[in-house]
Chain A
Amino acid sequence: MKKSYEPVVGFEIHIELKTASKMFCGCKNDPFFAAKPNIYTCPVCLGLPGALPVPNKKAIEWTIMLGLALGCKIPLFSKFDRKHYFYPDLPKGYQISQYDQPMAVGGKLSIGKRTIGITRVHLEEDTAKLLHITLEGKKVTLVDFNRSGVPLVEIVSEPDIRTADEAKEFLKKIHQIVRYLEISDADMEKGSMRIEPNISVRAITKKKTLPPYKVEVKNINSFNFVKRAIDYEVTRQTIMLEKGETPVQENRGWNEERQETVSQRGKEEAADYRYFPDPDIPPLRWTKSYIATLAGNLPELPGVKEARFLKTYGLTASDASQLVETKKRADFFEEAAKVAKSAKTGISPKEIANWIINRDVDVVETLPAGLIKRMQEAKTGLDLSSSELEEVVASVLKENAKAASDFKAGKQQALMFLLGAAQRKLKGKAPVPKVLELLKKKAGS
């Protein structure tokens, strides 16, 4: 890309909250794993005549907490609005969303040295899922309402992102924070996290003005494709600008197979959704103390935790960053460090960090204390005296005579078999190089 142009990228990110019930009714919120279509439905999420929405308190609290975690201000007044359009996946003919008074505004997220503005965070309901198939020779569209009414948080960023790498960083950070808060699985494959970049390009000389158009790219299903889609779009738009053309404001879809974006329809100006405040839902009014309570309930966020790890445990920046990747990992590390310290094992946090990072410890299935025990055993394993080791090797060769002779005859595989036998005897604590050395020596003789 010629140096005289720069990308102007912002994101709209949708996160499905993993509350137990849907946003406006008591139906089970489990669209991805539902055994059959249309089993988690009721008059409200089906849009039957006379049905009314009643907001999910947990979903609202989690939205505010996400806003707080993204550095947003939480206005003390908020409301839900009706957003109207006709589509078979929208049973009421309108989506309950938020228009001009969202729950959180004006936040920011740091990625490295740069700061990306968060315009707003709001709450809305998800639509039903459409399935386009051929049934008995006819092309049909089936509608599954299991997803209708699932709580959806929308995060809108300022168009502050300047490179595809920054975009990926930004999304990873959002993903990490959402997972830290434990409000969503944020799984792009399962649809609980959906991303749509808005991409424009402008001359660097026009840095202070927003480009007169933006292209929204849909159908991006993984973080890797985000980078490729942005790169593709930026190139496409730059070529046009260099020719003196202005790219059309439109929606484009990312085509995975062809690795390109394809025009879907003109976005022109924003569609007229005829927003008005939903009269079925009384507006939300918070007290400062309530918001303070929610803020107090926030877990320690990754950035803060990372800084604390650096300071408290004397780790490298790389170690700290890897340990805080997930909350589970970070908590596991701290618990293990605590155990190691209180049992006076002499095992350092640095060593624990190494094990966790390099040996890919399963932090879900293992107990921290279990890891410390393993580490201790590994250490003592190394303290086996030479003569004790020799005894073990001798008995291994005796008990596995065939393998011993095979190895003597030149079969390398037999050596591995013998090593395995030695490991079993030493309960996995075998100092592998030493044992191999001894085996070779003894078997050979």
Chain B
Amino acid sequence: MKALHTLTLVEAIEKLKHKEISHAELYTSVHDAIAKDNAALNVYLSLDNEALAKADKLLDSPLAGVPIAVKDNFLTVGLQTTASSKVLEGYMPQYESTVTTCLARAGGVIVGKTNMDAWAHGSSTETSDFGVTKNPRNTAYLPGGSSGGSAAALAANLCIAALGSETAGSIRQPSAWCGTVGVKPTYGRVSRYGVIAMGSSLDSPGPMGKTVRDCALLLGRIAGSDPYDATTSDKPVIDYSKNLHKGVKGLRIGICYLDHPKLKGSAVDAAVSKAGLVFERLGAKVEKVSLTQELRAGKILTPDFAVGLYTVVQRSEVSSNLARYDGIRYGGGRALFGDEAKRRIMLGTFTLSKGYAEHYYVQAQKVRSLYLKNFADLFSKYDLLISPTSPGYAQLLGVTKDNPLFGELEDLLLEPTSVAGLPGVNVPCGRDPETNLYLGLNIVANYFQEETMLRAAHTFEEATEWNSWTKA
């Protein structure tokens, strides 16, 4: 049997329930791996010493007491919650987030809180006030961000499954760079109550896992309407695992962004084109969607405008959401904010200021509506849109220095669907044998059609060699 900490979520639950393995054995394996690797990788900021004791009583629950890594922006009672910022160093929350409450109710156990870009401000995990996390696939490289710690925890097998959050890329991009699966649900599918707010109109907590099936299982456990979050949807939560095996026959799939000047001829261009062929071979109707600089029926609006609009809207919301950290009721003073946080607060304050708000914030929201129109049109013609998740492989440690717009440019391909609130999933779709770094495929569905995109993702995973757990 393979080492227990390398089990997938589905495998671990099955083996526990069939009494093939015990909680003690599983947790020992995971804790040993953490003891060996965490210092070097800097994945976890804090660990729960009671995790095994909690797991013991949970065998009969859906998640059977498996150890789960949780991004450090989810409020967890009894476990420090910092958003990787010195402002909240040592902060012990007075209440629990809805998502981690759901997790506990389903029998998941938090093994520890993972590192992230401070306040989720970034796509590298380099803005963390507690040191960067290293990419377990190749430790000279970044894991991506802002859920870099959670993606790395999976890639290094320091957990069985994980939770992250995405504003525009923060689940999918680190998943791409670490060669793992990450799901950004539809905005409003999963409650934000108890998740430290970054961009309130964008934030989407979501599951991250070693396989698509793992993510589908976890999504079903955390999704749903929440009376504490007025932006959650009343739509019923379905069994996302039920139809994963049904394949992609007849699905209309559009391949996007490969004709963007940044991607033409790149490694991701080749990998995603190949992915399109895979889907075609399996019975889907696949065609390329052309880029357009103006709204045109059947064409996809260039993501370039989304970078500006996203930067403005997000930083406006960030400047507002960070106003509560005044050090009076909890946390440290505002002088403890890191450079990136300060930059975003200043920019966001500016874009909302009298005399400027019309030109920046309001204008950005108007441009946002163009993307909404564009996707409404495209989803009348396609069931799914695919693209590269990231313009390339993971980048070297240190590359974000003096590069404040690094994140926004890296998340270029994800910002359009994020600002529209659409759901998307990253699955690995390529690997460089020399660097051991991965490429990710982004599959996007229409609102609340997570099932369709997960079905395509699972089908792709099964039909190709890129998943390092199912194809080991």
Contact = CB atoms under 8 A, between A and B. Distances in A.
> Does B bind A?
yes
Interface of A: 43, 46-55, 82, 84, 86, 88, 91-94, 143, 272, 274-276, 278-282
A47 B316 CA distance: 18
Given A49-B93, A50-B97, 17 more contacts: A48-B94, A48-B95, A48-B329, A48-B330, A49-B81, A50-B74, A52-B228, A52-B231, A54-B227, A54-B230, A86-B323, A93-B326, A272-B354, A274-B354, A274-B357, A276-B352, A281-B230
A87 to B, nearest CB: 9
Given A272-B354, A274-B357, A279-B201, A49 B88 contact: yes
Contact of B320 (A50, A55, A82): A82
A132 to B, nearest CB: 15
A278 B325 CA distance: 18
Interface hub of B93, B322, B323 (most chain A Cβ within 10 A): B323
B227 A93 contact: no
Pairs A-B, 6 closest by C-beta atoms: A93-B323, A279-B201, A274-B352, A279-B200, A50-B194, A272-B354
A408 B45 CA distance: 99
Contacts of A52: 192-193, 197, 228-231
Contact of B324 (A47, A54, A278): A47
A268 to B, nearest CB: 13
Interface string B417-455: 000000000000000000000000000000000000000
Contact of B353 (A51, A92, A274): A274
B472 interface: no
Interface string B311-345: 00000110110111110111000000000000000
B329 A91 contact: yes
B95 A47 contact: no
Contact of A91 (B75, B195, B319, B324): B324
10 contacts: A48-B75, A49-B75, A53-B230, A84-B323, A86-B323, A92-B323, A143-B328, A276-B357, A276-B361, A280-B200
B349 interface: yes
Interface in B171-209: 192-197, 200-201
A274 B75 contact: no
B229 A54 contact: yes
Nearest to A272: B354
Contact of A49 (B196, B231, B349, B354): B196
B248 to A, nearest CB: 34
B324 A92 contact: yes
Contact of B329 (A47, A53, A278, A281): A47
A84 B320 contact: yes
Given A50-B193, A94-B323, A276-B320, A55 B230 contact: yes
Contacts of A53: 230
Contacts of A275: 352
Interface hub of A50, A51, A92, A280 (most chain B Cβ within 10 A): A50
Q: Which size class do B's interface residues fall under?
A: 35 or more
A15 B357 CA distance: 31
A86 B349 CA distance: 13
Contacts of A43: 94-95, 194
B349 A274 contact: yes
B193 A272 contact: no
Contacts of B357: 274, 276
Nearest to B349: A274
A86 B330 CA distance: 16
B57 to A, nearest CB: 27
Nearest to A278: B200
A54 B357 CA distance: 26
Interface string B23-39: 00000000000000000
Interface string B213-255: 0000000000000011111000000000000000000000000
Contact of A279 (B97, B227, B317, B322): B317
A82 B318 CA distance: 13
A51 B325 CA distance: 13
Contacts of A94: 320, 323
Contacts of A88: 326, 328
A280 B320 contact: no
A281 B230 CA distance: 6
A378 B445 CA distance: 83
Contacts of A46: 329
B95 A280 contact: no
Contacts of A54: 227-230
Contacts of A276: 316, 320, 352, 357, 361
Nearest to B232: A52
Contacts of B349: 274
B326 A86 contact: yes
Contacts of A84: 320, 323, 352
Contacts of B94: 43, 48
A43 B404 CA distance: 33
Interface string B80-103: 010100001001011101000000
A50 B200 contact: no
Contacts of A55: 230
Interface hub of A93, A274, A280, A281 (most chain B Cβ within 10 A): A274
Contacts of B229: 52, 54, 280
Given A48-B330, A49-B75, A93-B323, A282 B230 contact: yes
A38 B349 CA distance: 31
B341 to A, nearest CB: 14
Contacts of A50: 73-75, 93, 97, 192-197
B324 A280 contact: no
Contacts of A82: 320
Contacts of B97: 50
Nearest to B322: A93
Given A47-B329, A93-B323, A280 B230 contact: yes
A198 B330 CA distance: 38
B324 A93 contact: yes
A208 to B, nearest CB: 29
A278 B197 CA distance: 13
Contacts of A49: 75, 81, 83, 88, 91, 93, 196-197, 324-325, 330
B190 to A, nearest CB: 13
B52 to A, nearest CB: 27
A143 B319 CA distance: 24
A280 B231 contact: yes
Nearest to A53: B230
A279 B324 CA distance: 16
Contacts of B93: 48-50
